[in-house]
Structure 1
Amino acid sequence: MSSVPRQASPEAREVRRKIETLSSTLTLPTVRRALGVLEGEHSSSRLGGNNDPMSTRDYTFEDEARLIDWKASAKQGHPMVIDRERLVTSRVHLLLDNGLEMEGRTTSGETAREVAGNAMCMFAALSARRHDRISLVFADSVNIIRKPFKGGLAQFEEAIDNGMGGEKRHPRNFEALLAYARTLNDRDSLVVIATDEHALSGDHLHSLRLIAAMHPLMLIDVATLNPFRKIPFGQITDGFDGRRIPAFMIGEQSANSVDTHRKYLTAQLQEHLKASGTTLIRAKSSEDMFSQFIHLVSVTLKQTSFARFDASSVSLGGMA
């Protein structure tokens, strides 16, 4: 792990504002589709699906047009909707690697922890809008802390900032985090795991496959800076003992070798995760994470023949 002297992260704060804007801009039907197609459709005792009828009510502007029951509407003289068993999950588990290693910096100057935290806010923004039950989990080598969550995005942001805060840090225990995910017995609930690229190895693939067999699984992989490449801010130091990286080791040849090795490992990881049905988002900054998430949702909705998700309306430029 490498780090630089602590600086403010205006990019992380700016992306947080964009997430807040996104959560209030998207319609509820779009939110349901966006999460539903990512996690797969399956039975749940929630409203808004296609199975058994549950109740009849007046149509509202947030309802999808396909939910209108024309016979009931003709009888009542105005649009009516029949609520049916919803075909998506009702619980979301957000698991965050909170180890000391997550203080490693990215090319944007943010810590991996900040990028991972904003990724969790992205999922929480949509899940809270859909009224899912959100469970937030922080894990390191000493503690695994679960925080059941109720409320909107503002309350979630406070909870995750408090959970990631604190001066005393412990090394990570990624194996314990995966073991915790394997104990989740509410089958088909969405599981999102966020860590950095150094935590993942071939030894974890079996555990990830077992989790993906029980749950829709999203993996957030934060890319940290290359310790042998020059950066525009601060001096690179070792994250554990604070020693500076020797100047003679910083250069294009060493940096290119590290980049090539990381790309190879990422390609292998993506291939294995895709085979198990796991979705991987690898991001080098909060802005990169946000952009990739919007692109992923947009492409997925189009591929599943849903109504077009207008990514341009929530683009980075359009939400400045």
Structure 2
Amino acid sequence: MIGRTPNEDPIRRKIESLGTSLSLPTVRKALGVLEGEHASGRRGGNDDVMDIHVYGPGDEARAIDWKASARLGRPMAAQRERRATSRVWLLLDVGREMTGACEGGEQAWQIAANALRMFAALSLRRSDDISLVFGDAASITRVPFHGGFSQFERTLDQALEREWAHERNIDALLEYARRIRDRDALIVLATDEHALGQRHVALIGRIARTHPVVLIDVATINPFVGHAGMTVVDGVRRRRVPSFLRDAASAEQVNVHRGFVAASLQRELARCGSRMIRGASSEAMFDEFVQLVSLATVSPAFNEIRSGGVR
């Protein structure tokens, strides 16, 4: 998938459609699901009213305009202008472990990068400020971003043209996130399913007390399952998995363990108000993302994008 442009890659065409096919109110509702009922220092009641409509599915209770409702005799919701631009921090684990293989031949970093593109597509539609942060054992690098989605893709693609020579440092990435001062900012952390331990979940919980947090969890390939046409190698040492080790019993044990860990992680994250999106391919990650954000809206555009009806 590396080297493809959005016009050549069906997943990236779908991602681009997220930002171009949806109305601004729909995008705001979708991102609102991910951001939750987080405290905000902004005084929304003083913002200009852009639209008043009949209260219905997908509208938040706090959007009810009580004066208009009393005047018209039925619940009315107000869409108010956002005077302050939100901030979105996209943190990506770029340790060499992220070169591990996933289903369909993708590497973990490619799936993680596509997941960040999904957030960028909606966030830029909402005119958010986006910062990209890349972390491994050698450095933590922030790449401020200004521009549209095409520029975001170029910036991300250029940043990922690297040697992948250093191990990951998930502790440093989480510490960076903890120090982000803007408490209204959405923090998205993308890594693979092997990166986080129990102590990391506890740290994410502390970050979630002051920020809305979403974890992108990439599921790597089961090394004990035979995959036609693929050579499975260790993401760190680049060693091949011997064929005699691949059997159904070992594969099942790995699947059960990974499923248990993922369910436990998601449960713990939910307790601290965070969300997790997990997938073993860009396609699966896209479906999970759309399913989650579509909870906020009944817009038919989401179903059209999910089914591949992109422009």
Q: TM-score range by the shorter chain?
A: 0.7 to 0.9
* Structure 1 residue 89: Cα displacement: 6.9
Could you tell me which residue of structure 2 aligns to residue 78 of structure 1? none
Q: TM-score, normalised by structure 2?
A: 0.85
* Structure 1 residue 84: Cα displacement: 4.5
Q: 2:180 aligns with which of 170, 178, 184?
A: 184
One-letter amino acid of the structure 2 residue matched with residue 105 of structure 1? A
The within-5 A match list for 1:123-142 is: 123-142=119-138
Q: Is the 8 A contact 1:36 1:88 kept in 2?
A: no
Could you tell me which residue of structure 1 aligns to residue 168 of structure 2? 172
Q: Is the 8 A contact 1:218 1:278 kept in 2?
A: yes
Paired residue secondary structure (1:240): coil
One-letter amino acid of the structure 2 residue matched with residue 319 of structure 1? V
Q: TM-score, normalised by structure 1?
A: 0.82
Specify which structure has the bigger relative contact order, considering alpha-carbon pairs within 8 angstroms and separated by 6 or more residues. Answer: 2
The within-5 A match list for 1:36-75 is: 36-41=32-37, 42-43=39-40, 51-55=44-48, 65=53
Could you tell me which residue of structure 1 aligns to residue 307 of structure 2? 316
Could you tell me which residue of structure 2 aligns to residue 221 of structure 1? 217
Could you tell me which residue of structure 1 aligns to residue 73 of structure 2? none
Could you tell me which residue of structure 2 aligns to residue 289 of structure 1? 285
Structure 1 Cα separation of the partners of residues 166 and 52 of structure 2: 47
Structure 1 Cα separation of the partners of residues 238 and 266 of structure 2: 33
* Structure 1 residue 22: Cα displacement: 2.1
Paired residue secondary structure (1:154): helix
CA gap 1:154/1:191 in 2 versus in 1, 3 angstroms: same
Instruction: Provide, for residues 5-45 of structure 1, a one-character-per-residue CA deviation record: whole Å limited to 9, x for no partner.
Output: x9888999321111112211001110111112320354355
More deviation in 180-189 or 218-227? Answer: 180-189
Q: Is the 8 A contact 2:114 2:282 kept in 1?
A: yes
The within-5 A match list for 1:57-96 is: 65=53, 84=80, 86=82, 90-96=86-92
One-letter amino acid of the structure 1 residue matched with residue 119 of structure 2? F
Q: Is the 8 A contact 1:103 1:113 kept in 2?
A: yes
* Structure 1 residue 239: Cα displacement: 2.8
Could you tell me which residue of structure 1 aligns to residue 59 of structure 2? none
CA gap 1:248/1:88 in 2 versus in 1, 3 angstroms: farther
Q: 1:110 aligns with which of 88, 106, 111?
A: 106
* Structure 1 residue 108: Cα displacement: 1.7
Could you tell me which residue of structure 2 aligns to residue 3 of structure 1? none
Report the RMSD for the aligned CA atoms in angstroms. 3.0
One-letter amino acid of the structure 1 residue matched with residue 256 of structure 2? T
Q: Is the 8 A contact 2:145 2:152 kept in 1?
A: yes
Could you tell me which residue of structure 2 aligns to residue 279 of structure 1? 275
One-letter amino acid of the structure 2 residue matched with residue 226 of structure 1? N
Q: How many residues align?
A: 291
Structure 1 Cα separation of the partners of residues 273 and 197 of structure 2: 18
Structure 1 Cα separation of the partners of residues 186 and 307 of structure 2: 26
CA gap 1:64/1:257 in 2 versus in 1, 3 angstroms: farther
Q: Which runs of 5+ in 2 are unaligned?
A: 55-62, 69-77
Q: Is the 8 A contact 2:14 2:308 kept in 1?
A: no
Percent identical pairs in the alignment equals 47
* Structure 1 residue 227: Cα displacement: 0.5
Structure 1 Cα separation of the partners of residues 40 and 264 of structure 2: 33
Q: 1:143 aligns with which of 139, 151, 174?
A: 139
Structure 2 Cα separation of the partners of residues 145 and 170 of structure 1: 14
* Structure 1 residue 273: Cα displacement: 0.8
